[in-house]
Structure 1
Amino acid sequence: MSRKTTQVGNPSERSKLLMLLAKKNMQWTIKGDSTNLESKRIMAVLSTGQAETDETALTETLPIGVTSTTVSELQSHEAMNESGKSDLTETSEATMFSVAPVPKQGLAPDTSDKSDFSDDDSVKDPDFLVPKDDMPPSDVTTDDTDIDDDNNVVIPKKRKTNSATEIVQKGRKRVRHEEKWKKTKAKLLKAHGKSYTSFGKSTSIVLAKEIGPVCENKCRLKCYQNMKDEDRTHIFQSFYALGSTERQHSFISSSIEEIHPKYEYKRENSKRIPNNAFFLHTRDNVRVRVCKTFFKNTLSITDRPIRTILTKKSSYVFQDNRGRHGNHKTVPEEIKQSIRNHIDKIPRIESHYCRADSKKTYIEGGKTIRDLHRDYLEECRENKKTPGNYVMYSRIFNEEYNMAFFVPKKDQCELCTSYQHAEDEAKAKMQENYETHLMEKELSRQEKTTDKNGESTVAVYDLQAVLPCPIGQTSPFYYVSKLAVYNFTICNIKNNEVHCYTWHEGEAHRGAIEIGSCVLSYLSLLNNKSTAPEDVIFYSDNCAGQQKNQFIIGMYLYAIQKFPNIRSISHKYLITGHTQNEGDAAHSIIERQVARARKAGPIYLPDQYYTLIRTAKKTGDPYIVHELCHKDFIDIKQLTKDQGIQIKIPLKDIKILKVIKEEPNTVYYKTSFGFPEYDEITVSKRTRSQNVKAKPAYHTKVGITDSKKRGLLSLIEKNCVPQCYNNFYSSL
């Protein structure tokens, strides 16, 4: 039989250990002589400071790993008035150990979908990870553990297991944490003898337990002489450090013995019960008999727990059976399993575009949970089986399955969709291209993971979907072409810093000039922050009009010559149809912020969007917003021409391109992520002049079309948009 032995030094540390055992609410299964076995364990802790636990006697696995917290922290959750406050004892001020339980065998780790991302934009993808700061507030440490924020206690996550498949699944709804309920915390405070707020028909403040006075001088046992105040304090603290009713009752039971006199005279069939003697142990492990009054006052208890223990002592296994009568109304497991079987029959849809590493699955969006339950009822009627009600169906759907209704917001991968819908003969012809496509997808993600763990600065950039302005709830807004507001994000995937470059279509367009100007501005910021030359790696999609063109390459060649702390620039293009990246996470958070704002009222100006973007992120560093006007954009087309750059290879096949400071006329490139070496091409034979200067792209606002302007002004005429915004829309 294996045992765990923990050596504890002084009395306060013994109290900590007892509080440790109580904190995790360990249930003890008593074998053999339950009273003697439990007595030996508790007395060993109280007297010698060495706690010995039988691993095989525990119904739950004893935990390993230690963190620290204090019982007094729980009191911060109780609203106590001055009369209810009490000084904390030495034990409550001392550090209490809490532990991280070992996960039960046979259970796989939880897979959590805790990211603040769009419900329709996820896919099973183990190679794609989202920055921790982009996730909503969470108390996640590992897949198998969680954190109790209030008590700093490591606790195991709750798991939902499908009994049919034995696959651990995380529900899409929030899992309740009973250990964080106020009622549970109040019970814990009560068990530790601290002040708490009672729960019941009426709430009241219950004061903390205190040691009562010693017995009177008439006591024939002279308890006040045989037991010092220091010993009483130590016993009091150790008793409430046990932290559970079961263990405290076990302690009381071990301290009471029946008195069987050598000679006793009583009538036949007498119902008189034997008297009892009470004992306490000093810190020197001296067993001292005390009177009942002294015993109760030292432990600050009443007659009730003593009567309960004496009544049930013959069969009592030191377990609190309140609420454990087993007569609760339950749904038969057969009905629950029939619900799971019906949900498992629903076809899943895979979402190609994801904004997180997610295990979420999707079903067709044409039905609701209520519709699915109606289908389930019909199936049960046909099979003449007893169905479960809607509440049980909804609970299992939401808690045991991480499932959502599919509503696509982006185009899916054209090649993958064509291959899946093709007939057998057409599939055979597409097989090679399809396999190459999937291989490049995996290689591109592996490349990004490798770069993220390297020394270079790695960033992804993308232009968010257009934000329309103005928007409102009245019908005239739906029949007017709106002003387009642009948000171009650059996300550093190593430190999770996000820069948002914003402007509207009245100031500039959204082509290569605008994208190149934003990237050049970002490179200037990196150059100013860096203290030594560094390599920069960008990731993006394959949009030819914005970033996969010769003008962006010309901008890169200009940047490595202009900025001394930029040694090289690499641009890696993600595979078409699979361009999910960390920038999408920022876009999703911004979209949700905008959706919340639209519920509160209309959005009349682009400036309102800029404010929403600044305040969108609730945890971590906020997004850095750069508000741009027409004067901030550089004519990178003219810049490329001034450098004499000519690209004579098809850019659509390029997967990676790279420029370095030492070779300003050469561009290195790869047409596959699997190629080990770069090809190179000379893009200019001119001697690069340091006098090449970037020129502004626009001297005035580009403006909007007359028809769009008339439509926007009509909203002001109809008072759908307040008159105070007339100057802004008139100047477009």
Structure 2
Amino acid sequence: MKIFEELKLSLYAPKKDLCDVCEAYNTKNLSEEKYNMHQTFKQEARQEKERDKSSSDITVNVYAMDLQSVLLSPKSTVSAMYYKTKLIVHNFTIYNLKNKEGFCFLWNESEGGLTANEFSSIISFFIEQEIKKCDGALREMIFFSDGCTGQNRNSTLANAFVNLAAQHNIILTQKYLFKGHTQMEVDSMHATIERQIRDRKINLPADYAYHCQKARSNPSPYNVKYISHSFFKKFDNLKFYNSIRPGRAAGDPVVTDIKALRYFPNCEIQFKMRHTDPWAALNQRLNKKITPCKYDDLLPLFTERRKIKKEKYDHLQILKLGLLEDYQKFYDELPFE
């Protein structure tokens, strides 16, 4: 068993969502030609990630990022928990594919939502911290993710990347895995955290921050930041580009067709429609009146905590009775509609 653990082997089979295209082919509802093209795109994306991951260039860092499935607070085995709505907690995770560092950014629904502004704030903060840590040694940072438009593939986040590339004289690259086959190393963080919190009692959203830190010890614990509403910035006012769509006319490629985006210090954006294609300049006009600005100089996204629904607040007042008195104050002070 000791050798088995040293080799990092496991009998656990992680859950895996099925691809709708592959399932359509398995049920004879998709042609062989379309299925083969689907498999080609899948392999191209995976090979691209493996190529970047195995690169020995120390001036290029490669990351995978994703949002963990919804966490809830409070959480226990009390029967009333199953029938009441609870406070939603979000965990956005970033994993360094080269040195295996993991980063968790946690917030609850009263502190922020799931718009492009929240994700742009977290990613911008993370990039600035990594640049500081590397003391100017980084030439490029590559981020792999799924193609979720509200989270990873939109003009708000693209403009945030443009802003950072211009400020820090660095190349920033986004690469998207193929729909239905977006398994990444960052998913291992989610599995590790889920094992840690299984059968654990959660009294407050901040308890998840503690368990994320305790979830892994080797090679190092995860870096965890618990976020309040004052952390988030308003990035949708930063409009270097109004759109990142590759085409303009009807029938031209759209944003969801993009497989990769690259941002340069001169504010230029390049894109790829396939990972095997050469880079091409984005056919959108740069607004030269917009100048790069520091993260701290951006307007705050929220001036106060977000209000939850009255029904959820009432349910939480019932659920808090199963908690120690010190924990109950947090739920009493939640803003509601």
Q: Note whether the superposition's TM-score is higher than 0.5.
A: yes
Aligned to 2:26: 420
Aligned to 2:89: 485
Q: Secondary structure at the match of 2:157?
A: helix
Given that 1:655 and 1:672 are in contact with CA atoms closer than 8 Å, whether structure 2 keeps it comes out as yes
Deviations 1:130-173 (A, max 9, x none): xxxxxx94147xxxxxxxxxxxxxxxxxxxxxxxxxxxxx994x
Aligned to 2:195: 592
Q: Secondary structure at the match of 1:613?
A: helix
Could you tell me how far apart the structure 1 residues matched to 2:327 and 2:269 are?
49
Aligned to 1:449: 50
The letter of the residue matching 2:242 is I
Could you tell me how far apart the structure 2 residues matched to 1:476 and 1:604 are?
15
Residues 703 and 496 (structure 1), Cα distance of their counterparts in 2 relative to 1, 3 Å cut: same
Aligned to 1:440: 41
Higher relative contact order (CA 8 A, sep 6+): 2
Match of 1:646 among 232, 239, 243: 243
Given that 1:137 and 1:619 are in contact with CA atoms closer than 8 Å, whether structure 2 keeps it comes out as no
Aligned to 2:286: 684
Deviations 1:488-519 (A, max 9, x none): 11111001111111111111112211111111
Residue 560 (1) aligns with residue 155 (2): no
Could you tell me how far apart the structure 1 residues matched to 2:314 and 2:265 are?
50
Normalised to the residue count of structure 1, the TM-score between the two structures is 0.42
Q: 1:618: Cα distance to partner? A: 3.1
Deviations 1:672-711 (A, max 9, x none): 1121343432342424424684221111111211110100
Deviations 1:453-491 (A, max 9, x none): 222110010000111111121211111101111111111
Given that 2:100 and 2:219 are in contact with CA atoms closer than 8 Å, whether structure 1 keeps it comes out as no
Q: Secondary structure at the match of 1:637?
A: coil
Aligned to 1:674: 276
Residues 572 and 690 (structure 1), Cα distance of their counterparts in 2 relative to 1, 3 Å cut: closer
Q: How many pairs were matched up? A: 319
Could you tell me how far apart the structure 2 residues matched to 1:411 and 1:451 are?
25
Question: 1:330-729 residue pairs with structure 2 within 5 A?
Answer: 409=15, 411-422=17-28, 426-427=29-30, 430-454=31-55, 455=57, 456-530=60-134, 531-564=136-169, 567-596=170-199, 598=200, 602-640=201-239, 643=240, 645-649=242-246, 650-662=254-266, 664=267, 666-690=268-292, 693-716=297-320, 719-729=321-331
Given that 1:644 and 1:686 are in contact with CA atoms closer than 8 Å, whether structure 2 keeps it comes out as no
Could you tell me how far apart the structure 2 residues matched to 1:556 and 1:171 are?
38
Q: Secondary structure at the match of 1:572?
A: strand
Given that 1:670 and 1:679 are in contact with CA atoms closer than 8 Å, whether structure 2 keeps it comes out as no
Q: Once superposed, which parts of structure 1, at least 4 consecutive aligned residues long, lie more than 6 Å away?
A: none
Given that 2:269 and 2:282 are in contact with CA atoms closer than 8 Å, whether structure 1 keeps it comes out as yes
Q: 1:639: Cα distance to partner? A: 2.1
Structure 2: 5+ residue runs without aligned partners? 247-253
Residues 677 and 557 (structure 1), Cα distance of their counterparts in 2 relative to 1, 3 Å cut: closer
Q: Secondary structure at the match of 2:323?
A: coil
Q: Secondary structure at the match of 2:140?
A: strand
Deviations 1:587-606 (A, max 9, x none): 1000000015x2xxx21111
Given that 1:646 and 1:684 are in contact with CA atoms closer than 8 Å, whether structure 2 keeps it comes out as no
Could you tell me how far apart the structure 1 residues matched to 2:216 and 2:107 are?
20
Residues 514 and 137 (structure 1), Cα distance of their counterparts in 2 relative to 1, 3 Å cut: farther
Given that 2:156 and 2:235 are in contact with CA atoms closer than 8 Å, whether structure 1 keeps it comes out as yes
Could you tell me how far apart the structure 2 residues matched to 1:518 and 1:529 are?
16
Q: 1:445: Cα distance to partner? A: 1.0
Q: 1:631: Cα distance to partner? A: 0.5
Residues 435 and 644 (structure 1), Cα distance of their counterparts in 2 relative to 1, 3 Å cut: closer
Given that 1:614 and 1:624 are in contact with CA atoms closer than 8 Å, whether structure 2 keeps it comes out as yes
Question: 1:266-285 residue pairs with structure 2 within 5 A?
Answer: none
Could you tell me how far apart the structure 2 residues matched to 1:409 and 1:704 are?
31
Given that 2:63 and 2:94 are in contact with CA atoms closer than 8 Å, whether structure 1 keeps it comes out as yes
Question: 1:132-281 residue pairs with structure 2 within 5 A?
Answer: 137-139=5-7, 172=11
Could you tell me how far apart the structure 2 residues matched to 1:609 and 1:688 are?
39
Given that 1:507 and 1:629 are in contact with CA atoms closer than 8 Å, whether structure 2 keeps it comes out as yes
Q: 1:645: Cα distance to partner? A: 3.1
Deviations 1:339-358 (A, max 9, x none): xxxxxxxxxxxxxxxxxxxx
Could you tell me how far apart the structure 1 residues matched to 2:242 and 2:288 are?
9
Rg larger for: 1
Q: Secondary structure at the match of 2:314?
A: helix
Deviations 1:351-380 (A, max 9, x none): xxxxxxxxx9xxxxxxxxxxxxxxxxxxxx
The letter of the residue matching 2:51 is T
Q: Secondary structure at the match of 2:152?
A: coil
Q: Secondary structure at the match of 2:104?
A: strand
Given that 1:517 and 1:633 are in contact with CA atoms closer than 8 Å, whether structure 2 keeps it comes out as yes
Deviations 1:29-84 (A, max 9, x none): xxxxxxxxxxxxxxxxxxxxxxxxxxxxxxxxxxxxxxxxxxxxxxxxxxxxxxxx
Q: Secondary structure at the match of 1:681?
A: coil
Given that 2:163 and 2:292 are in contact with CA atoms closer than 8 Å, whether structure 1 keeps it comes out as no
Given that 1:488 and 1:500 are in contact with CA atoms closer than 8 Å, whether structure 2 keeps it comes out as yes
Structure 1: 5+ residue runs without aligned partners? 1-113, 115-135, 141-169, 173-359, 361-403
Given that 2:159 and 2:241 are in contact with CA atoms closer than 8 Å, whether structure 1 keeps it comes out as no
Q: 1:722: Cα distance to partner? A: 2.7
